Structure 1
Amino acid sequence: MFIAGLGDRPLTARATLLVVSAAGRFDPQRVRVQWATDEQAAAGKHSGSTGFADVGAAPAWRNLRAPLSAIPDTATQIRLVADGDDLAPQHWIALTPPRIPRLRTLQDVVGSKDPVFLDWLVGLAFPCQRPFGHQNGVIETPKWRILPDRFGAEANSPVMDKNGGGPLGITDQLLLQVQPDQAVFHGAAGVAHRDGHLRHPRLRNRPASHRRKPKSPLGGGDEANQRLCDAQAADARPAPDVAIFIEVTRPSDSDGQHAPALRFGEPPVMAVVVGFTHLLAGFDNPALVRVVSALLGCPYTSRQATYDLRRLKRKGLIVRLPGHHRYQLTALGRRVAVLFTKVYGRVLAPGLAELDPRLPTDLATRSALAQAWRQLDRSLNQFTNAAFTAA
């Protein structure tokens, strides 16, 4: 169906584009705009067509643009034609009615007084805008951000995030708290051994002289900083998803080796993950025995520690340091440990304490959860008693 009224389009310097918002995955040439005169539209014919420029990232909503100059002045009606013959579920097209926006220059909108965050790729292209101020580690909050084109933004943004050391990561980096193990600063064994793929991006390309094991305890500063950055980078990754949680808490087989489940809430498992979440220099069997025994308040033997270490290793939560009988947390292990400890310490433990029927009344009255639970318990008892009485 043709849309009338194109003859009244405002062909000015501020209205030069025909824009259609689109979403989905499709070939840009599959969406075209056709034009016609009133007579041609009445006959169901068109006199020409043109495609759109698609500069967005699929499948998100983005603007398709076509120059109004491509449509002849004699055309009075237009229509959108979307041709899609791919029946795959991931290929679909969603379109909005076309519109002719009134354009304004960036200088008119942003001006030269507001603080602006200029991406590295466009800094020299906008000399009239004022970059945000910074002094003594404190930055001025930008009001605007100017990005490059889609491909430039996708390639440039990861360099500026918290893992790349750029300005986008300042806020995220302030939220991270990591307690380094004191043994790192005393040249403990295993300090200089790291897996290359776990190195922090800012340290990955450092000279080899900075990656060697220090010859004296005084030379361990670089290694300590490296491990601290590794821990921060691992903590900044997203939390484990449901699939990983199920794989960790259920038995599994990896490369023909059976890996017993790490049951959530099991006292030895929780004590193990609590005991080494903060260790950056690694740990061994005797250290694990001491830490877990203190946390459990009961004997924890070396044989039990060997069994737990085997479980953690086969689940991919720890890795053995080459040439040493010491183990170190992997990126996945740190994420799972944080998830287990936070959920147990902040949700389950206080929640179950408030649901305890032996909780004193004066404490229960202060808790909305305890009151709601006791009310539910009373209502269920009344409903059950009424049902049995009626029977």
Structure 2
Amino acid sequence: MSSDSRQPSTTSLTPGSSKSTSPEGPAPGRRSRPPTMAEVAAEAGVSHQTVSRVINGFPGVRPATRDRVQAAVGKLGYRRNLAARALVTKHSGLIGVIAVGSFLHGPTSTLASLERAARDHSYLTLIATIAETSEAQFRAALDEFLERSVEAVIVIASRESLVWFAGTLKLDIPLIIVGPRPTDLDDLVCMSVDQTAGARLAIAHLAELGHRDITLLAGPSNWVDAQRRLDGALAECAERGIQPRLARGDWSPASGHAAGVQIAELPSAARPTAICCANDHMALGALSAFHQYGIEIPTEMSVVGFDDLPGSGYYYPGLTTVHQDFETLGTRVIIAALKMIGGEAPDTEPVPPILVSRASTTHPRN
């Protein structure tokens, strides 16, 4: 969830005193200052420019020469001075990422994929997690990013409030929202897995199995993804002439269990034949309730989730769900950010979702 951490070196100073050294100089085996690129060049027997090409990954250096430089770097303990590099090149190599603190699958998977993709392109991420409704925390995080000269800002807008905060910004660096585009903020650059299409896939799957009485278990209304999934499910139902029942959950298995209990306590003839849950955790809770009441899955009740959590294939029975490719999303977002940094237009095409059909769905019994 976070970028690679590095423990900084520290020096203890007595109040009122300055850093001191022994009259004899630094202790044996210790350096009084970090090694320089010139010292690496002298150690390897090459030019300063050759060391720079090796350290920055440029081609055109012979393998034997590259090996000598890398050995010298390791021997001397040389580390690039990114702050000095930023002063010279005007590029910090940093991308700021703001997200709401969350342990849910979508936001954490997105955060991890962004961090990996950034490193693959020789960038580091500064990550700030904030409270859902705190515009003050949002702006404080943004100010810290700008003080560190980030080259782009990415906002994982799982909550509606973050979209609105981002919509008020006037930045001279690229800004990308990771999440569905709000209908009334057309000027924002937004990138996401296509949530609406994923919900349509789930309803289409149930309809093609023959289900006409379906309960939609929606997620919390202040989550953008939940809104888009509900919009997609309702639109697909409307096109197929299905009048769904609607229930609300909060993403948790407990809310899915509560919805499942409400369905299970209906007379068997009055129950829907399928439930489409807005995430896998709520689907797990619903499955638990149906097992508790002796309702057979999938012959008496089909269950669909959304997210394709690791392990969802091992629910009992294996859960039919909608898979989101967060690795592809993270890579596309970072590539889009780099294009924008370079003054190019980004590709913001949504990442297509995939329906994963497993044993929790079948044709309705009647």
Same fold (TM over 0.5): no
Ranked by relative contact order (alpha carbons within 8 Å, sequence separation 6 or more), the top structure is 2
TM superposition score category, shorter chain reference: under 0.3
* TM-score calculated relative to the size of structure 2: 0.24
